[in-house]
Amino acid sequence: MQMYLRRSIFFLFLGACFANEVYAADPASDSTFHPYKVNYWVTGGIVVGGLTLEKIGVAWISNKSHISTGELQNLDRQDISIIDSWALKFDPSRRDYYERLSTGLASVSVFLPALTLIDHDIRHDWVDILLMYMQTQTITNNLYLYSPFGATFQNRLRPMVYYTELDTAARTTDNNRNSLYSGHTADVAACSFFTAKIFCDYHPELGSKKYLIYGAAAIPPLLMAYFRLGALKHFPTDLLVGFGVGALTGILIPELHRVQNKNIAFGIYSTSEATGIAMTWQTDFLH
């Protein structure tokens, strides 16, 4: 995952927001429709705390043990399920090509939410959009690091480990224990579905046509999933998990900021015993 690159790009996105601030003062772009309610202190605190946890988590997953030659010798392709066996049918000589494609797509996808600022009905809430986007990215990254099915607690070997055509050094690196799940796919899905969610929430008149928007939002993460397969980085099930996590965070984080969901709080917690994500719901009928 390119967490630190994305953090820098956040500031570029912030610059784009400031560039659009002039339009917010235009009466033609003024609107009384504000579907989200963002507490700047709480949301900002989640972002700052999440970035701190990212730094810790990245250090953890970057210091796993190397894969021994004994582990390589004990590998058996027959142990891979039928679905995941697709990852073992690519040309290993093209893995660098697919790696470059995935890196490029990851860099471009970060800017997808900036497209919403073109819309006159949305740009007046650019601060809220920016903070929700940063929160979405931070939570997506921390889910990758700290969830039970993420890289900190899982050591699934990447498909490239099974390719005997590759040299031993490339197959035994410690990073090859981070196959489950695909952080790249999760990140792109979060960016894409966040953009779709924002656009649809500001345009409720779309009705059932919003599903076309969400269908289009699935294209970038699906492309990323294929690129990561070609780069021999993940099995199909790793990509499915990453797609699901990213899509859910991209949709749910803005939804939790909807005005009608003001009794729901979502954030990151850290104690001496555990680190994770917490959601609280205060029901009305108890008052």
Computed over every residue of the chain, the mean pLDDT equals: 83
> Which residue reads 């009905």 in tokens?
121
Please say if the pLDDT value at position 155 is more than 90: no
For the residues 188-214, what does the mean pLDDT come to? 94
For the residues 104-109, what does the mean pLDDT come to? 93
Count of domains for the chain: 1
Residue 14 in any domain: the answer is yes
Under 8 Å between Cβ of 144 and 183: yes
What is the rounded CA–CA span in Å between residue 35 and residue 134? 18
Provide the sign of the torsion angle of the four alpha carbons 128, 276, 266, 199, taken in this order: positive
Residue 149 in any domain: the answer is yes
pLDDT of amino acid 13: 52
pLDDT of amino acid 266: 55
Q: What is the pTM of this model?
A: 0.80
36: left (phi over 0), alpha (psi -120 to 50) or beta: beta
pLDDT of amino acid 279: 60
pLDDT of amino acid 162: 94
> Which residue reads 């555990």 in tokens?
274
Encode pLDDT of 7-37 as tens digits. 545 544 555 444 444 444 444 444 567 889 8
Of the listed ranges 93-107, 144-158, 231-245, 258-272, the least confidently predicted one is 258-272
Under 8 Å between Cβ of 252 and 190: no
For the residues 206-229, what does the mean pLDDT come to? 95
pLDDT of amino acid 22: 42
Percent of the chain at pLDDT above 90?
A: 47
Please say if the pLDDT value at position 260 is more than 80: no
Of the listed ranges 6-10, 250-254, 267-271, the least confidently predicted one is 6-10
Q: Which residues contact 176 (CB under 8 A, 6 or more apart)?
A: 67, 157, 158, 160, 161
DSSP state of 233: -
Domain enclosing residue 95, as ranges: 3-29+40-64+84-281
pLDDT of amino acid 62: 82
For the residues 257-281, what does the mean pLDDT come to? 60
pLDDT of amino acid 197: 96
Residue 286 in any domain: the answer is no
Residue 125 in any domain: the answer is yes
Residue 72 in any domain: the answer is no
Name the residue type at position 193. F
> For residue 275, what pLDDT band results from cuts at 50, 70 and 90?
low
DSSP secondary structure, 75-118, as one string? --GGGS-TTGGGGGSS-GGGHHHHHHHHHHHHHHHTTGGGGGGG
Under 8 Å between Cβ of 205 and 163: no
DSSP state of 114: G
Please say if the pLDDT value at position 220 is more than 90: yes
Please say if the pLDDT value at position 106 is more than 80: yes
pLDDT of amino acid 117: 85
Residue 34 in any domain: the answer is no
Please say if the pLDDT value at position 43 is more than 60: yes
pLDDT of amino acid 154: 87
pLDDT of amino acid 216: 96
pLDDT of amino acid 231: 95
Residue 287 in any domain: the answer is no
Residue 69 in any domain: the answer is no
pLDDT of amino acid 180: 84
> For residue 174, what pLDDT band results from cuts at 50, 70 and 90?
confident
